Amino acid sequence: MTNHWVDIKNADLVIVMGGNAAEAHPVGFRWAMEAKIHNGAKLIVIDPRFTRTASVADFYTPIRSGSDIAFLSGVLLYLINNNKYNREYVEAYTNANLIVREDYSFDDGLFSGYDAVNRKYDKTTWNYELDEKGFAKRDLTLTHPRCVWNLLKEHVSRYTPEVVSNICGTPKDDFIQVCEYIAATSVKDKTASFLYALGWTQHSVGAQNIRTMAMIQLLLGNMGMAGGGVNALRGHSNIQGLTDLGLLSQSLPGYMTLPNEKQPDLQTYLAANTPKPLLEGQVNYWGNYPKFFVSMMKAFFGDKATAENSWGYDWLPKWDKGYDVLQYFEMMNQGKVNGYLCQGFNPVASFPNKNKVIASLSKLKFLVTIDPLNTETSNFWQNHGEINDVDPSKIQTEVFRLPSTCFAEENGSIVNSGRWLQWHWKGADAPGEALNDGEILAGIFSRMRHMYQSEGGALPEQVLNMTWNYQTPDNPAPEEVAMESNGKALQDVVDPATGAVLVKKGQQLSSFAQLRDDGTTSSGCWIFAGSWTPDGNQMARRDNADPSGLGNTLGWAWAWPLNRRILYNRASADPAGKPWDEKRRLISWDGAKWSGADIADYSTAAPGTDVGPFIMQPEGLGRLFAIDKMAEGPFPEHYEPFETPLGTNPLHPNVVSNPAARVFKGDLEAMGKHDKFPYVGTTYRLTEHFHYWTKHAVLNAIAQPEQFIEIGEKLANSLGIAHGDTVKVSSNRGFIKAKAVVTKRIRQLDVNGQKVDTIGIPIHWGYEGVAKKGFIANTLTPFVGDANTQTPEFKAFLVNVEKV
């Protein structure tokens, strides 16, 4: 989130689209209700299903799953055509007036630079026209035909209400009603907040769904505002911490990137990752990349990392391609993987195309599961009849189960969706032989290190040079690891201007501004610098005082970066430093400094200096045109799901689905067609269960005892299916059987001249636990992922339904 949970209460309009907050985030959703009840906010829901969130909304309208880019692009067009945007904000704080290169183009569904053989774009042309000094050219009058504003207008001009309604199946009047709700927040003293999660991310166009919404927020002047922003309601309680700490295969802590094989030395790597400002005088905070990186290497390798050996650069792995989970299971399926350590992950249940996952695991020599529970994955080799029809005698994989604790059985911090690091304390000892995750991993590490020391082995440096100065090396305390993530001074840190000592050798750092690229500081995760200072554990603070009434509670826990609660909050004030809306005053300029209800997100620059508020971007501006970042284009474009009920893309039949999505040849061949699989399948969760664990708990098993699917009344009638019948739902990859819930909540939609029906499929069942056994929903889903994040397309695929 750029904002945070409590801040949702400040919104005038809460739009739940691409998620079902009342059901999946029932505790956080209270802030949407606070906005509604205490603030007179409107709550609107756009979802293929009439959800529990819709049941408390002021307005609901349906949408065909996988068509949100068309819908949101239509909203952009409406705002532009009806002059419903904050013009001053757009001109001062977005890249609307920057000029794009002449060789950039878009035609018939493809942007310039497409390489069809590798399904990849060369993004060179998606950039600004630069002047002699390397700065982007601008046209402050917004008349240049290639300024971002005019290219944007042209790009979205196709998304008229008729086109939106034709692609999305949303009735045209409903669509216009939504546009009117949103347009009403374009004035300076109104904000809108979109609450989204998987209904947007789990698509082959997931990241662009979110970008389109972010562009709306820029037009409305909502970024940086209390009650505005871009707010992902995240999933598992510490999944924000997972991305913060760089646990994705191409990441390093603090949103740095793991080097790739084209970066053989430190200089090449740093040059590629340290941007230069694209407009004169910008903060360009990523310009500090070398400080973050070198400090991280000092945390990893301590005294072993020196200037002479480029801080141990050679010891980091260099990727040749992405090793996301889709790629990894593909390699496993090709027999290229020997062993798999599976920690807190149940891929048999949670990953697409379950039969492919089972086939892949069957090719391993060994599998290690680290989990408090028995899972479908640890027992993937068992036969459970139709639900898991395997022959154990043919599976040679050796499985090791290492029982672990769960988060409530250890101290630690959890980062919530709002970037707050909240310390928590152990609630109970673990049962039986369970060890906590750190102890298991450290135990494996120290045994491997001993083997390297006594027997040698390939690439020993990484293992032998790793710093491991914990009091109990086989079980590092969470407190020690947290202090290491924050970082400390390895030598006295001095102010380059005055020579004064800022941090004494050995002391914890208070801010990432104290980081150095000369090896005198260490920090495991630069964005966490400030979480454990000389004053102690900031994450454990519990002062909920809220003097501004905006809910920022600066004394409660600690938020990255630097305890700032609302990112880009410089944009909450106009160029002269005056808040757009007095009642949402986050920061303001008092003539000498910035201050207010939040930690100012800015350099110390005074108003009027043209320093843009989006300090992480080299141009300092919010991007309506995303230069060189997104995989499939600088503007969002509607592409159909890989399994489309239309069999075409109404906008450009030659380019139907995302041309840069993650997909492998065999999986493309396993895609079903709408002639055999005429209905849209979509999967989701229920409040009464948490994924695949709660079927181990009797009370949850009682609350939602049995796998079911939801089917609209019209379709059920035409197929002769009654409430409570058992039905078979099949895709081109397999089938499941479940009870039918016949409902008015899922409507038949009119799309591109045909009727489109949706089948709703909750995800929670399997063959482990105390609940009644059920089929695994992911037997049905396709093995294809978003082009930027590789998140699987769980929300839109094709199925058939029959009564059995």
| Footprint on this chain of ligand MGD (rule: CB under 6 A) | 17-21, 24-25, 46-49, 51, 63, 65-66, 68, 197-199, 202, 235-236, 343-346, 350, 370-373, 375, 404-407, 437, 682-685, 687, 689-693, 763, 777-778, 781, 794-796
Among 32, 52, 34, which Cα is nearest to 43's? 32
Nearer to ligand MGD, 194 or 602 (CB): 194
| CA–CA distance, 565 with 326 (Å, rounded to integer) | 34
| CA–CA distance, 564 with 111 (Å, rounded to integer) | 37
| CA–CA distance, 672 with 210 (Å, rounded to integer) | 27
- What's the min distance (Å) between Cβ of 71 and Mo ion? 23
**Token output for 76:** 């952009």
| CA–CA distance, 181 with 174 (Å, rounded to integer) | 11
Nearer to ligand MGD, 437 or 643 (CB): 437
Question: How many whole angstroms from its chain centre is CA 691?
Answer: 18
Nearer to ligand MGD, 44 or 270 (CB): 44
- What's the min distance (Å) between Cβ of 235 and Mo ion? 2
| CA–CA distance, 240 with 435 (Å, rounded to integer) | 24
- What's the min distance (Å) between Cβ of 244 and ligand MGD? 16
Binding at 683: pick from ligand MGD, Mo ion, none (beta carbon under 5-8 Å per type): ligand MGD
530 torsion bin: left (phi>0), alpha (psi -120 to 50), beta (else): left
Place of tokens 């459970």: 384
Binding at 574: pick from ligand MGD, Mo ion, none (beta carbon under 5-8 Å per type): none
- What's the min distance (Å) between Cβ of 374 and ligand MGD? 8
Nearer to ligand MGD, 67 or 282 (CB): 67
Sign of CA dihedral 548, 552, 553, 554: negative
Which position's Cβ is nearest Mo ion?
A: 235
DSSP string covering 472-502: STTS--HHHHHHHHH-EESS-EE-TTT--EE
Nearer to ligand MGD, 150 or 405 (CB): 405
Is-contact 233 195, C-beta < 8 A? yes
- What's the min distance (Å) between Cβ of 64 and ligand MGD? 7
Binding at 689: pick from ligand MGD, Mo ion, none (beta carbon under 5-8 Å per type): ligand MGD
- What's the min distance (Å) between Cβ of 126 and ligand MGD? 26
Single out the segment in contact with Mo ion by CB under 5 A; choices: 162-170, 231-239, 289-297, 405-413: 231-239
HSE, CB side, 13 Å, CA atoms: give it for residue 763.
Answer: 24
Binding at 63: pick from ligand MGD, Mo ion, none (beta carbon under 5-8 Å per type): ligand MGD
Please tell me whether residue 339 adopts helix, strand or coil conformation.
Answer: strand
Single out the segment in contact with Mo ion by CB under 5 A; choices: 230-238, 414-422, 482-490, 720-728: 230-238
Q: Is the peptide bond between 277 and the residue preceding it cis, with omega within 30 degrees of 0?
A: no
- What's the min distance (Å) between Cβ of 23 and ligand MGD? 6
- What's the min distance (Å) between Cβ of 736 and ligand MGD? 11
- Does 199 engage in binding with Mo ion (CB under 5 A)? no
- Does 235 engage in binding with Mo ion (CB under 5 A)? yes
Nearer to ligand MGD, 310 or 327 (CB): 327
- What's the min distance (Å) between Cβ of 430 and ligand MGD? 10
Is-contact 573 588, C-beta < 8 A? yes
Among 542, 540, 556, 437, which Cα is nearest to 486's? 540
Nearer to ligand MGD, 98 or 482 (CB): 482
| CA–CA distance, 259 with 631 (Å, rounded to integer) | 19
Single out the segment in contact with Mo ion by CB under 5 A; choices: 143-151, 228-236, 281-289, 293-301: 228-236
| CA–CA distance, 780 with 798 (Å, rounded to integer) | 9
Single out the segment in contact with Mo ion by CB under 5 A; choices: 137-145, 149-157, 235-243, 296-304: 235-243
Q: Are strands 192-196 and 13-17 parallel, antiparallel or unpaired?
A: parallel
**Token output for 410:** 């250890």
**Token output for 611:** 């320093």
Nearer to ligand MGD, 664 or 690 (CB): 690
| CA–CA distance, 529 with 562 (Å, rounded to integer) | 7
**Token output for 354:** 């379950």
Nearer to ligand MGD, 199 or 524 (CB): 199
- Does 241 engage in binding with Mo ion (CB under 5 A)? no
Is-contact 532 508, C-beta < 8 A? yes
Binding at 51: pick from Mo ion, ligand MGD, none (beta carbon under 5-8 Å per type): ligand MGD
Is-contact 251 317, C-beta < 8 A? no
Binding at 128: pick from ligand MGD, Mo ion, none (beta carbon under 5-8 Å per type): none
Nearer to ligand MGD, 649 or 781 (CB): 781
Binding at 734: pick from ligand MGD, Mo ion, none (beta carbon under 5-8 Å per type): none
| CA–CA distance, 481 with 276 (Å, rounded to integer) | 33
- What's the min distance (Å) between Cβ of 13 and ligand MGD? 16
- What's the min distance (Å) between Cβ of 197 and Mo ion? 8
Is-contact 186 86, C-beta < 8 A? yes
- What's the min distance (Å) between Cβ of 317 and Mo ion? 26
Give contact residues for Mo ion (rule: CB under 5 A): 235
